């Protein structure tokens, strides 16, 4: 298993290529992340951070460059192979929780495990453990509508980590919360990430939260620099 969890090399992405309104979103972006490293991605709105996260997580394909996860170069791989690697090795958290409203908190964390071939009993035990570790174990049988915003986001964190991915990608995970709840929820996320030893690339506008990570990268006008 490679100690290099994520490597992006010369990533280029242009929308509406060849048209008068073409926009080059990413210009030769390169980065490397080691096992257990937590990195902040700071960028103004519209700078391309969501595009970068989608490419890193194999949800989108760059126009040029290479994406490697766990030492596997995913360039030119089939959709089936990309989906398999994404399901096994990558977890996603977004600004909005996107929990399935008809299922309980526990069930929302169980479902991705079942899709990955884990037995129901084992999946329920892991889901209950994750929910307890972020302080919402007592709310496991509640549906999302009965949870606060902070509780919903903590459940979303557990869902993202349910299959023990190597890499967590988070796009403004506390951006929809007030400052006090944001700090509490971010602390729960960091505790979870640190305790599992996974790597995380976390996009945020909050410079105080960014300062609590191992290093800061800045994306502006499609160019990535150390912050």
Using DSSP's 3-state secondary structure scheme, residue 42 falls into strand
Instruction: Count CB atoms within 10 A of the CB of residue 205.
Output: 14
Contact 150, 181 (CB under 8 A): yes
Convert the pLDDT of each residue in 48-87 to its tens digit.
889 999 999 999 999 999 999 998 999 889 989 999 898 8
What is the model's pLDDT at position 24? 84
pTM of structure: 0.88
Q: Check whether 1 has a pLDDT greater than 50.
A: no
What is the model's pLDDT at position 40? 95
How many percent of the chain have pLDDT more than 90? 55
Q: Band of the pLDDT at 97, cuts 50, 70, 90?
A: confident
The overall average pLDDT reported for the chain is: 89
DSSP secondary structure of 83-103: HHHHHHHEEEE-SS----TTS
Convert the pLDDT of each residue in 106-149 to its tens digit.
999 999 999 889 999 999 999 999 999 888 999 999 999 999 98
Contacts of 227 (CB under 8 A, 6+ apart): 40, 42, 210, 215, 216, 217, 218
Q: Check whether 176 has a pLDDT greater than 60.
A: yes
Q: Check whether 36 has a pLDDT greater than 60.
A: yes
Q: Of 44, 69, 75, which is closest to residue 56 (Cα–Cα)?
A: 69
37-61+77-215 CATH choice from 3.40.50.2300, 3.60.21.10, 3.30.470.20, 3.40.50.300: 3.40.50.300
Convert the pLDDT of each residue in 201-212 to its tens digit.
999 888 888 999
Instruction: Count CB atoms within 10 A of the CB of residue 211.
Output: 10
Give the Cα separation of 97 and 132 in Å (integer): 18
Q: Band of the pLDDT at 2, cuts 50, 70, 90?
A: low
Range in 103-107, 143-147, 185-189 with the lowest mean pLDDT: 185-189
Give the Cα separation of 135 and 122 in Å (integer): 20
User: Rounded to whole angstroms, what are the CA distances from 103 to 41, 109, 143, 154, 155?
Assistant: 32, 10, 6, 15, 12
For the chain, domain boundaries? 37-61+77-215
Convert the pLDDT of each residue in 8-24 to its tens digit.
999 999 987 777 777 88
Q: Check whether 167 has a pLDDT greater than 90.
A: yes
Looking only at the bridges linking them, the beta strands covering 38-42 and 215-220 are parallel
Give the Cα separation of 196 and 163 in Å (integer): 12
Q: In this predicted model, which residue has the larger pLDDT, 172 or 54? A: 54
Using DSSP's 3-state secondary structure scheme, residue 80 falls into helix
């Amino acid at each position: 298993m490679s100690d290099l969890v994520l490597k992006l090399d010369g990533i280029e992405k242009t929308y509406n290529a060849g048209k008068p309104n073409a926009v080059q979103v990413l210009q030769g972006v390169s980065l490397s992340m080691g096992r257990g490293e937590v990195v902040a991605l700071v960028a103004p709105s519209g700078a391309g951070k969501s595009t970068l996260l989608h490419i890193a997580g194999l949800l989108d394909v760059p126009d040029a460059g290479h994406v490697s996860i766990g030492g596997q170069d995913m360039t030119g791989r089939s959709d089936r192979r990309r989906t398999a690697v994404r399901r096994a090795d990558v977890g996603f958290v977004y600004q909005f929780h996107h929990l399935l409203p008809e299922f309980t908190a526990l069930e929302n964390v169980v479902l991705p495990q079942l899709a990955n071939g884990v037995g129901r009993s084992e999946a329920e035990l892991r889901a209950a453990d994750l929910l307890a570790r972020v302080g919402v174990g007592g709310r496991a049988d509640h549906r999302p509508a009965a949870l606060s915003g902070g509780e919903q986001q903590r459940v979303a964190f557990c869902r993202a980590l349910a299959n023990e991915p190597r890499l967590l990608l988070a796009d403004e995970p506390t951006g929809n919360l007030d400052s006090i709840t944001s700090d509490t929820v971010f602390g729960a996320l960091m505790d979870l990430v640190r305790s599992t030893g996974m790597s995380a690339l976390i996009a945020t506008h909050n410079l105080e939260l960014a300062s609590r990570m191992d290093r800061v990268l800045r994306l502006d006008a499609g160019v990535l620099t150390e912050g």
